[in-house]
Amino acid sequence: MRSSFVNRRKKQGSVKIHSVEGDEKRVSKLVFEVKKINYQIAGLTLIKDFSMMVLKGEKIGIIGGNGTGKSTFIKLLLDELQPDSGTIRRSKTIKLAYFDQMRENLDLNMKAMDFVSGGREHIDIGGKSKHIIGYLRQFLFTGKQAMAPIRMFSGGEKNRLMLAKILSQPANLLILDEPTNDLDVETLELLEEMLVDYTGTLILISHDRTFLNNVVGSTVVMDGDGVINQYAGGYDDYLIQKQDKLNEKKIKIAPKIKPKSKPDSKKLSYKQQQELKQLPNKIEKTEIEIGEIQLQLSDPEFFQQPESQDALIRLARLEADLERYYEKWSELE
């Protein structure tokens, strides 16, 4: 999947989930085609001139700090919001299963099994009839828990129950918005295994670095201020490619970083000369801070901490600053 994403970008990244892809050969290869969309809200730019294609069977991760527009982007894809400009083309054969981070309101007095099955004793999973209690056992619920009211469940168990309901639905497009929140390790591993085996199209919003690395084939990074980029691979692949881009820019600029002769320096104003003089120090400090944040992000447990969101936003801003410093250096030099 990752290699197919890379090739396409060059031209332009155990329960079985019931996917209808295998049964419907008529489903178009194209799921979404996004062309140069822009979107603002209350004067804040969330998406700026962004284009991408989503093909059948792709697994795409979306990352970004709070307020960068991740959920808004999903609503645009699903036609719940309209872009200010640009177009979004959608497959007419989409069958959606959507796990929202806001979670739907649960009837706490309803039995867990009835919530998932709609009151039926058997549900259809992958074309096979399965007893609801047997199905819930695959999500680590006991028979007693399956027959218990939802009010008896912990927050993590409620999330697990929501996943059981969502993943029982026949779908060729699965969108999961922060599905790993409050999940225990066993459930997290189960969900990861299910998504790896899923044959439909997956769009996954998550800050769980290891989870993304193991599941997705490309990663969409929302850096803030409307800047969005797509990278082949998971979270670690994104960091490597981002650093490679910065290194390439350094190489391009490096040959030009030589003292100018005095006559040439007269072309710059005093203010510009001072700005040029300060740039090396700014670049060095920014690179050091980027390295420190990336070191923090290399620890998967860091994403369980509240400050992880702020770190992602800070990293995006520092990377943008660094690129701007190099461009300014090239301009003044």
Listed in sequence order, the residues at least 6 apart from 83 whose beta carbon sits closer than 8 Å to its beta carbon are 37, 38, 39, 47, 76
Q: What confidence score (pLDDT) does residue 55 get?
A: 94
Q: What confidence score (pLDDT) does residue 288 get?
A: 84
> Which pLDDT tens digits describe the chain residue by residue (333 residues)?
545 544 544 444 355 665 555 444 444 589 999 999 999 998 889 999 999 999 999 999 999 888 889 999 999 999 999 999 999 999 999 999 998 755 656 789 999 999 999 999 999 887 789 999 999 998 989 999 999 999 999 888 888 898 899 888 888 999 999 888 878 888 888 889 989 989 899 999 998 889 999 999 999 999 888 999 999 999 888 888 888 777 776 666 555 555 544 445 457 787 888 888 888 888 888 888 887 887 777 666 666 676 777 777 788 788 888 888 888 887 877
Q: What confidence score (pLDDT) does residue 10 get?
A: 42
The CATH code for residues 2-232 is: 3.40.50.300
Other C-beta atoms within 10 Å of 140: how many?
14
The CATH code for residues 235-332 is: 1.10.287.380
- DSSP lists the bridge partners of residue 30 as 55
CA angle, residues 229, 233, 237, in degrees to nearest 5: 85
Domain boundaries, the chain: 2-232, 235-332
233, 2 contact by CB (below 8 A): yes
Separation CA 126–CA 176 (nearest Å): 20
35, 87 contact by CB (below 8 A): yes
Exposed, middle or buried, 171 (CB in 10 Å: 0-12/13-18/19+)? buried
Cα within 13 Å of Cα(148), Cβ side: 14
Write down the H helix ranges in 175-253.
185-197, 209-215, 235-253
**Secondary structure element (H or E) that encloses residue 40, with its range:** strand 30-41
